[in-house]
Amino acid sequence: MASHTISARTPGVFYRRPSPDAEPYVADGATVAEGDTIGLIEVMKTYREVKADTAGTVSRWLVDNEDEVTIGQNLVELDT
């Protein structure tokens, strides 16, 4: 099985869930389809969706919820 990483397209704060009391967009070990929302990046109170650019299964998260991320930083690894 090959692996693929999804990276941040903007800098900001990464959120794995739509609100503090909600379930994560994608659970550990879950399967995602291309175009599925996997998280949000917040920049100056503007939230941008992070979408899967390929289908796969989440093998591991490379950042934690509410971590600050930079452009190009890897967020999650998928088994494809």
Order across the sheet with 68-69: list the strands: 46-51, 37-43, 12-15, 68-69
Rounded CA separation 79/49 (Å): 21
Amino acid at 49: E
pLDDT in tens, 57-75: 999 999 999 999 999 999 9
Specify whether the CB–CB gap between 59 and 5 falls below 8 A.
Answer: no
pLDDT in tens, 14-53: 999 999 999 999 999 999 999 999 999 999 999 999 999 9
Rounded CA separation 71/12 (Å): 9
Cα 40–chain centre separation = 7
